[in-house]
Amino acid sequence: MTNLDIAQQRLHNQHIALPTFENPVEVVQWLGAVQAQDYAAAKWALGLRMQGATDDVIEQAFDAGTILRTHVMRPTWHFVAPADIRWLLALTAPRVNAAAAYYYRVLGLDDAIFTRSNIALAKALQGGKQLTRPELMSVLQQAGIATDDLLRFTHIIMHAELDGVICSGARRGKQFTYALLDERVPPARTLDRDEALAELTRRYFTSHGPATLQDFVWWSGLTTTDARSGLEMVKSQFLHEIVDNQTYWFSSSLPPANGCSQAAYLLPNYDEYTVGYTDRSAAVDAARTKNLDPRSNVLLSHTIVIDGHVVGSWKRTLTKDAVIIAPHLLTPLNEAETRAFAAAVNRYGAFLGKPVTVVQA
CA nearest neighbour of 328 among 296, 352, 292, 355: 292
Q: Alpha-carbon Rg of the chain, whole angstroms?
A: 21
φ and ψ at residue 10, rounded to 5 degrees: -65, -40
Give residue 200's pLDDT.
98
Burial (CB < 10 A; 0-12, 13-18, 19+), residue 342, is: middle
Give residue 291's pLDDT.
57
Give residue 330's pLDDT.
87
Give residue 296's pLDDT.
52
**Contact between 326 and 361 (Cβ < 8 Å):** yes
What is Dmax (Cα atoms) for the chain?
A: 64
Burial (CB < 10 A; 0-12, 13-18, 19+), residue 130, is: buried
User: Domains in the chain, start-ordered, CATH in brackets?
Assistant: 3-184 (no CATH), 193-251 (1.10.10.10), 260-358 (no CATH)
51 Cβ neighbours under 8 A, 6+ residues apart: 19, 20, 21, 22
Give residue 94's pLDDT.
97
The Cα 206–Cα 217 span in angstroms is: 15
Give residue 188's pLDDT.
87
CA nearest neighbour of 27 among 71, 63, 74, 61: 61
**Contact between 240 and 248 (Cβ < 8 Å):** yes
Ranges of the chain whose pLDDT falls below 50: 259, 294
The Cα 127–Cα 196 span in angstroms is: 30
Give residue 288's pLDDT.
60
For residue 283, the one-letter residue type is A
Give residue 254's pLDDT.
59
C-alpha pair distances (Å), 261 with each of 31, 231, 258: 23, 31, 8
φ and ψ at residue 87, rounded to 5 degrees: -75, -30
Give residue 284's pLDDT.
79
pLDDT, tens only, 295-354: 556 567 899 999 899 999 999 999 999 999 999 998 899 999 999 999 999 999 999 999
